[in-house]
Amino acid sequence: MKTTILTAIALLTRLANHGNIQANTSVALVMPLEKPSTPNYNGPYRPQIHFSPIQHFMNDPNGLFLDAEGTYHLYYQYNPTDVVAGNQHWGHATSSDLYHWVTQPVAISPPTLDSQVFSGSVIVDVNNTSGFFPNQTNGVVAIYTLNTPRAQVQEIAYSHDGGYTFARYAGDPVIDSNSTQFRDPKVIWHEETERWVMAIAYAQELVIGFYTSPNLKTWTHASNFTHHGFLGLQYECPNLIRMPVRDPRTHQLLDDSKYVLTISINPGAPLGGSTTQYFPGAFNGTHFTPVDSATRLTDFAKDNYATQFFFVPASSDAAGSDPLSIAWASNWQYAQAAPTAREGWRSAMSLPRRMFLANVSRAGWDLVSRPADLSPVLGPRLAARDDLGHGAERALTVDYSAVESNALYFEANVSGLPAVALIHPDATLNFTFLNPTTGESVSGGYFFGGDTPFFLDRGRTRGFENPFFTDKFSAAVLPREDGTWTLSGVIDRSMIEVFVDGGAYSATATFFPTQPLTVMRMEAAGLPPEASVNVAIFSLLSAWTDIEPVQEFVRG
């Protein structure tokens, strides 16, 4: 009965969108999907400050934008009928602070039973370049790939109500194709040429194409960027964004900016499966030129894919802030097997991150990422220590079993470090989250001497067995020339994100213990006597506590 009801709902919705309603008319039909009578936001694996769908399967973030009222919109690849990928729609959620999300009705549904709405982006057409919005400055246009058995084509849909409901453009597709591997358009406004610019993947040709348009309806191919970085078996989900440049030590904004092109690859990542790489460079409105031939990754663990940046209109008060992004916190090698299905959902998003470029000593251009302002979910400080690692104060242990969210924020700031050559290779700062009953743990740490590696280890949890679930990750991280080093991180039930050296290096990893991790231990050992280690641990407040989720809907 469940399958029959869901199929009937999907069919009725698609008929309403496709066959019986004009393409330039908003669709009023709203049909509820079956959902649990009480959505389980408190399952042992359910992240409390990371976004996840009420139920079913989610993957790539799509169409991120900030509206004129200060509301953040997150669309995402969503299967509203199962906990595996397929039947792709655009799910939708909104937030005023990037952590407390309200699930909205499904925003865009496929027009036919054999089609799917794949990834894409959203813009705000402030100047009505499209002609869809003669009486408003906040019109929203979605640009996405319609996938069919015959081809992947690019369509647009527009919204007069701020991105909650969409009507398809009568002239779709705006870019036709006979290829089944042509997808994921990301559109930005290029001020200097006064044109819309699209970056799009010719996936299996390993090409990113750039198109331009004056009105979002008529597109002209401008150039290609091909065979750069890790190739894998296909390119996906490109993003092009103007990125501020900051001083790597002070983070002061410099009189410079560059463009960053991100390209996701899957499969074929260095650690297996999917990952996102980026290229700093210049963009003149038609052609992208990287600063060098280096390959750089946004994340050194395994669960950060399809990074997308928020579209923020130039007229917005937030336009001067560092760009904001969200990524899918999983990996295609095991996303459809993750044990969260027993709670009725699969996949979460990364933390929202602010990003900027810095020209780091020896490493060159680096995309620095840090969590967006955590104050909306930051709880009481549980513990702090100013002199960790000296005398009897080698370790700090916190039992957080009473923290309702089972989520923590932690940070460590080290100063007074001498040159690396003068530090013993075993000098370390490390952390462990564990369950004292089962012995399961997630750990990480840094060695200040030798090759200065940072490591993250999720291999001591036993709730998920998969041959591709790589358990250990590392990166070489040099202390700064001023003798300082920093670490911050968030652990959120079944996810951990760490930000090393002020976010110059970051890692995202999911993990699945048989019982919740409830004790944190931070320890320093072997450090030079002149070094100072300050650490602090905070509880995080559940973003789901005060929200009554709206019933899920499919709406055309």
Active site residues: 60
Token pair belonging to 262 = 């991100």
Which residues, at least 6 apart from 190, have a Cβ–Cβ distance to it below 8 Å?
A: 196, 197, 212, 283, 285
Output the CA torsion sign for 425, 426, 430, 435: positive
Output the CA torsion sign for 319, 74, 77, 540: positive
Determine contact, residues 154/127, Cβ cutoff 8 Å. no
Look at residues 78, 452, 76 and name the one whose alpha carbon lies nearest to residue 237.
Answer: 76
Look at residues 476, 482, 487, 420 and name the one whose alpha carbon lies nearest to residue 448.
Answer: 420
Secondary structure of 395-450 in the HEC alphabet? EEEEECCCCCCCEEEEEEEEECCCCHHHCCCCCEEEEEEECCCCCCEEEEEEECCC
Look at residues 534, 270, 496 and name the one whose alpha carbon lies nearest to residue 413.
Answer: 534
Determine contact, residues 211/188, Cβ cutoff 8 Å. no
Separation CA 396–CA 381 (nearest Å) = 13
- CB atoms under 10 Å from CB of 481, counted, come to 10
- Whole-angstrom Cα Rg for the chain: 23
Separation CA 164–CA 157 (nearest Å) = 12
- CB atoms under 10 Å from CB of 330, counted, come to 28
Look at residues 147, 149, 169, 148 and name the one whose alpha carbon lies nearest to residue 158.
Answer: 169
Residue whose entry in the numeric block shows the structure tokens 């591997």: 181
Determine contact, residues 203/234, Cβ cutoff 8 Å. yes
User: What Cα–Cα distance (Å) separates residue 26 from each residue in 22, 119, 167, 179?
Assistant: 8, 21, 5, 29
Residue type, 54: I
Separation CA 347–CA 354 (nearest Å) = 22
Determine contact, residues 555/106, Cβ cutoff 8 Å. yes
Which residues, at least 6 apart from 472, have a Cβ–Cβ distance to it below 8 Å?
A: 455, 456, 457, 458, 459
Token pair belonging to 385 = 């220590």
Look at residues 194, 148, 207, 196 and name the one whose alpha carbon lies nearest to residue 172.
Answer: 148
Look at residues 484, 481, 469, 475 and name the one whose alpha carbon lies nearest to residue 530.
Answer: 484
